[in-house]
A and B are shown apart, each in its own frame.
Chain A
């Protein structure tokens, strides 16, 4: 996907005639609407877009998107996407997946997609629970969580998806909460414009099996204190009155109050999303309450060589150098004639 002619589109141009079958009140509805709005704003028509998913509640996404779509098998969407993008670099690909789909059964494909930097946008719906199988703990469920499959509390240590992605060499990592349409729109626009694998972790509420999992960040009354919106080139300030900041002391982030201990906004860590060194992005990926606010927005956006482009460039270069001659190939180097 390179340059394209923008056309005027509305969010409803990306809606299908399929009845949406998520539970009433599910966070997925807001995410679907946000993506449809972001695509309309982007202006690339639906026939040049493919939506690919694995299995899980979130993976029903392709049925509701008026694009080319593929609802595949559990965990394997990254592999389907990789083959599709190698065959069709001209299409923009969006992948919908969940914490079970990509971090558990499909963990291997997930890290290799990021490592290779296949050009696609990954919508990782993280609700910290298995929804479609009705309520078992997931690889992002908190330690000690009581579920049907962990009645005495889970003893699994959870993944932090953004940290895992950065460890897997992800060039683009961003995050938003399903109910935060404003940040969602910004993040989706940035991901749409990024060339390479754009990982978007979405904190999504499963109101049936894990209701309120993100309330400590998502609720209006706590959001300003418990999250921080990252903006490239700007100091990291948060709080309802922007009265707190994050500074770096050596390699350790620290929360401070503006005006206390002689510290001001000038002392805050200035977010550099384009820093090639992943160390600071990795620190951001590990920041969480109660010690820190959880970062939202674009944690990292670094250009890297794009896998599907590299493969197709190699094919084009070799073809220009050696025009294909099938008969010569079949005959081989050591053929002989019988008269």
Chain B
């Protein structure tokens, strides 16, 4: 399509745009297509989808508002942005619940057709805010999205409902025009998505075009905006990836490199289900997906598969981890490889299924009966989930131990550009199966014999003559693996299981601090607050503050150099989306004082609030 423009453009360093509408309005689709187009022109991007648990809450209600925020920039960025420069709202409820996310002076594009009495009342407005002075601190653009969409389609014989469902493409066409995006990605996606429905394909193409033309032709918009590509990007192949996608890819890459089958047992749960959906598509990589009858069956089947020499993996959210606890203990006792992924969400109980939180750290570390150590690591961003998933599999396989990977709702559904690694560059993984009785050199089989460095026991290939053995959840004699109720042996085995986890720390690279190696304040984060914390720290460093940042990926075992690093700063601040769980861990482990910054609102921590928290924590 013709994309030349007669209108001038202004260059910006970065823009945060937020789309909001009914959950049936196609907001997530609109946002992700705009993201793909931004990434394709070389902007750095970070996204934050913010949607309700209801699939289709009643149209026009506050409960049904779905949002999608995108930060795109000519600089390297780490967060989806605190507040939006541009807010696109499809109805009054979307405005009411998202206005607070729009910066003063920001651009507000409203579908004025939806601002009718019924919708206004449902959103709690007594008068139409587009027609009084309520919104005077913003640059308001009222666009008759519904009518204009209808005009573009009036000769196609579509129903009013079908026409209404095309209007998100009008909005998308308009913002594509506004930010000089290449339309090919969207027109290509429309062709794919509606391949079997030629009428809808034609309708959406037309509406998208109409949105573009509207921007170009109406006097309403006088200027376009250009965000240049990021300079000095490392060469390579890039793609946009969500946290759940990156997790699934990391699992497949690891089992493929290890030459093992991938067994994935899962019970559908928000926000982890997309990992199951993705893995189910890639059976040619030796992936066997099992949608179990419940969370317990999902993890137990994964343990059964690991017993059978595939890598057993299960993913869930916090409530599912609670159900799996006993079985995770079985994997600890039988010392079998197992990967458990917890895509955390707001809790306790059902909590906030579609909102983010990081309150499962203590559950991951300690939420089982007995002394039951597992390896725990946490991804910091969507792309980082690939490396973490890969590392989780590698450690599970080589140390014969359950590994729990913590992700969260904002990582799972958020997306960012990812430099795709070459398969050859990924670290090798040697499953080192005990697959022949000849390897015993005439000695009896000792299923709980251990390697000197990792303390891993042999992973015995089932079906091998002469290697018949029995595993179970009752305490084992060391070496033989026979049942044992012996007091001293139990003490010994408790220590050995912990030592096996602790030994993994020897493989960690030195921890890296961003900023001065000593100073006034160290900000320590784990998981998704990484981006906001590091951004805030960098801003304050530029202002001359003595502040540094440390991200902890491995939470069990903790890297051995953490204690020494913490001691180099006068104060330590630990921001978390929980009531202070890493804070307790650091205090308990290193007996040092730390202060927390804790806001548990189902939302990522913002750069603004962390900047404030850091300034408050800095010694005077």
* Chain B residues whose C-beta falls within 8 Å of the C-beta of A73 in the assembled complex: 300, 326-327, 329-330, 473
Which chain A residue has the least Cβ–Cβ distance from B229?
A338
* Chain A residues whose C-beta falls within 8 Å of the C-beta of B483 in the assembled complex: 18, 63
* Chain B residues whose C-beta falls within 8 Å of the C-beta of A91 in the assembled complex: 308, 462-463
A84 engages B293 (CB within 8 Å): no
Q: A18-B482, A70-B470, A329-B249 are known contacts. Are A88 and B326 too (CB-CB below 8 A)?
A: no
Contact stretch, chosen from B67-75, B80-88, B416-424: B416-424
- Tell me if A318 is interfacial: C-beta within 8 Å of chain B: yes
* Chain A residues whose C-beta falls within 8 Å of the C-beta of B302 in the assembled complex: 83
B308 engages A322 (CB within 8 Å): no
Question: A332 to B253, alpha carbons, bound, how many Å?
Answer: 13
A79 engages B237 (CB within 8 Å): no
Contact stretch, chosen from B34-42, B204-212, B608-616: B34-42
- Tell me if B486 is interfacial: C-beta within 8 Å of chain A: no
Q: Could you say which of B293, B326, B473 contacts A108, with CB atoms under 8 Å apart?
A: B293
A84 engages B307 (CB within 8 Å): yes
- Tell me if B563 is interfacial: C-beta within 8 Å of chain A: no
* Chain B residues whose C-beta falls within 8 Å of the C-beta of A314 in the assembled complex: 283
B42 engages A84 (CB within 8 Å): no
B297 engages A318 (CB within 8 Å): no
- Tell me if B539 is interfacial: C-beta within 8 Å of chain A: no
Q: Could you say which of B252, B301, B466 contacts A82, with CB atoms under 8 Å apart?
A: B301
A315 engages B423 (CB within 8 Å): no
Which chain A residue has the least Cβ–Cβ distance from B314?
A83
B467 engages A62 (CB within 8 Å): no
* Chain A residues whose C-beta falls within 8 Å of the C-beta of B312 in the assembled complex: 83
B470 engages A80 (CB within 8 Å): no
Least CB distance, B323 to chain A, in whole angstroms: 11
Q: Could you say which of A71, A86, A112, A318 contacts B471, with CB atoms under 8 Å apart?
A: A71
Which chain A residue has the least Cβ–Cβ distance from B296?
A76
Question: A5 to B320, alpha carbons, bound, how many Å?
Answer: 44
- Tell me if A241 is interfacial: C-beta within 8 Å of chain B: no
Contact stretch, chosen from B90-98, B284-292, B449-457, B522-530: B284-292
Least CB distance, B76 to chain A, in whole angstroms: 13
Q: A63-86 CB contact bits vs B (8 Å, 1 = yes)?
A: 100111111110010111111111
Question: A318 to B237, alpha carbons, bound, how many Å?
Answer: 27
Q: A73-B327, A91-B463, A336-B40 are known contacts. Are A80 and B300 too (CB-CB below 8 A)?
A: yes
Question: A329 to B286, alpha carbons, bound, how many Å?
Answer: 14
- Tell me if B465 is interfacial: C-beta within 8 Å of chain A: yes
* Chain B residues whose C-beta falls within 8 Å of the C-beta of A87 in the assembled complex: 261, 263, 288, 304-305, 307-310
Question: A239 to B261, alpha carbons, bound, how many Å?
Answer: 55
* Chain B residues whose C-beta falls within 8 Å of the C-beta of A78 in the assembled complex: 297
Question: A46 to B217, alpha carbons, bound, how many Å?
Answer: 80
Question: A323 to B42, alpha carbons, bound, how many Å?
Answer: 32
B470 engages A68 (CB within 8 Å): yes
Which chain B residue has the least Cβ–Cβ distance from A112?
B293
* Chain A residues whose C-beta falls within 8 Å of the C-beta of B297 in the assembled complex: 76, 78-79, 82, 108-109, 112
- Tell me if B235 is interfacial: C-beta within 8 Å of chain A: yes
Least CB distance, B446 to chain A, in whole angstroms: 14
A334 engages B36 (CB within 8 Å): yes
* Chain B residues whose C-beta falls within 8 Å of the C-beta of A329 in the assembled complex: 249, 252, 282, 285
Question: A35 to B236, alpha carbons, bound, how many Å?
Answer: 61
Most chain-B CB neighbours within 10 Å: which of A47, A330, A338?
A330
* Chain A residues whose C-beta falls within 8 Å of the C-beta of B463 in the assembled complex: 47-48, 68, 88, 90-91
B235 engages A339 (CB within 8 Å): yes
B294 engages A71 (CB within 8 Å): no
* Chain A residues whose C-beta falls within 8 Å of the C-beta of B240 in the assembled complex: 334
Which chain B residue has the least Cβ–Cβ distance from A80?
B304
Question: A321 to B473, alpha carbons, bound, how many Å?
Answer: 41
A324 engages B284 (CB within 8 Å): yes
- Tell me if B233 is interfacial: C-beta within 8 Å of chain A: yes
Q: Could you say which of B185, B235, B285, B473 contacts A326, with CB atoms under 8 Å apart?
A: B285
Question: A84 to B39, alpha carbons, bound, how many Å?
Answer: 43
* Chain A residues whose C-beta falls within 8 Å of the C-beta of B288 in the assembled complex: 86-87, 311-312, 315
* Chain B residues whose C-beta falls within 8 Å of the C-beta of A86 in the assembled complex: 263, 288, 290, 301, 305
Interface residues of A in 36-61 (CB under 8 A from B): 45-48, 50, 52, 55
Interface residues of B in 209-234 (CB under 8 A from A): 233-234
* Chain A residues whose C-beta falls within 8 Å of the C-beta of B382 in the assembled complex: none
Question: A48 to B467, alpha carbons, bound, how many Å?
Answer: 11
- Tell me if B239 is interfacial: C-beta within 8 Å of chain A: yes
Q: B393-425 CB contact bits vs A (8 Å, 1 = yes)?
A: 000000000000000000000000000111100
Question: A322 to B483, alpha carbons, bound, how many Å?
Answer: 46
- Tell me if B474 is interfacial: C-beta within 8 Å of chain A: yes
A50 engages B462 (CB within 8 Å): yes
Most chain-A CB neighbours within 10 Å: which of B236, B240, B284, B288?
B284
* Chain A residues whose C-beta falls within 8 Å of the C-beta of B467 in the assembled complex: 47
Interface residues of B in 468-527 (CB under 8 A from A): 468-474, 482-483
B304 engages A82 (CB within 8 Å): yes
Q: B245-259 CB contact bits vs A (8 Å, 1 = yes)?
A: 000010011001000
- Tell me if A260 is interfacial: C-beta within 8 Å of chain B: no
Question: A108 to B241, alpha carbons, bound, how many Å?
Answer: 37
Least CB distance, A335 to chain B, in whole angstroms: 4
Which chain A residue has the least Cβ–Cβ distance from B467?
A47
- Tell me if A251 is interfacial: C-beta within 8 Å of chain B: no
Q: A47-B464, A87-B310, A315-B288 are known contacts. Are A71 and B472 too (CB-CB below 8 A)?
A: yes
Q: A326-B256, A331-B237, A338-B238 are known contacts. Are A63 and B470 too (CB-CB below 8 A)?
A: yes
Most chain-A CB neighbours within 10 Å: which of B265, B307, B420, B471?
B307
- Tell me if A133 is interfacial: C-beta within 8 Å of chain B: no
B464 engages A80 (CB within 8 Å): no
Question: A337 to B40, alpha carbons, bound, how many Å?
Answer: 9
A330 engages B420 (CB within 8 Å): yes
B283 engages A84 (CB within 8 Å): no
* Chain B residues whose C-beta falls within 8 Å of the C-beta of A79 in the assembled complex: 292, 296-298, 300-301, 304
Besides A47-B465, A83-B303, A324-B284, 13 new A-B residue pairs in contact (Cβ under 8 A), listed by A number: A69-B470, A72-B473, A73-B330, A76-B300, A83-B301, A83-B305, A87-B261, A315-B283, A319-B286, A326-B423, A329-B282, A332-B241, A339-B235
Q: Chain B interface (Cβ within 8 Å of chain A)?
A: 36, 39-40, 42, 185, 233-241, 249, 252-253, 256, 261, 263, 265, 282-288, 290, 292-294, 296-298, 300-310, 312, 326-327, 329-330, 334, 420-423, 462-474, 482-483
Q: List 10 A-B contacts (CB under 8 A).
A: A50-B307, A50-B462, A68-B462, A70-B472, A83-B265, A311-B290, A314-B283, A319-B283, A327-B423, A334-B239
